[in-house]
Amino acid sequence: MPYGARGRPVSWIAVTVMVLGFVIGGLGLVLGPTWWLFWTGAGVTVAGGIFAWAIGIMEDYTEDLH
């Protein structure tokens, strides 16, 4: 990956899905707690993690900065 590259767009989609899951789960805890909303957020987060693993998100990382 060339210097300055910060991940593939598909990797950012996976991260966005996981963050969205955390937000949904957090709202489920704050608003009640509303357990169905919390578990929905947990499921979205896990699904995003599985998606990230499937696309090889960790291959975006490089220590070569030159």
pLDDT tens-digit profile of 7-45? 899 999 999 999 999 999 999 999 999 999 999 999 999
Q: Return the pLDDT at 44.
A: 98
Q: Return the pLDDT at 5.
A: 60
User: Of 66, 64, 62, 65, nearest to 8 (Cα)?
Assistant: 62
Q: Return the pLDDT at 57.
A: 92
Q: Would you say 25 and 45 are in contact if contact means Cβ atoms under 8 Å apart? A: yes
- Decide if pLDDT at 4 tops 80: no
Q: Would you say 57 and 13 are in contact if contact means Cβ atoms under 8 Å apart? A: no
pTM: 0.83
Q: For residue 3, what are the contacts with CB-CB under 8 A and spacing of at least 6?
A: 64, 65, 66
- Decide if pLDDT at 54 tops 90: yes
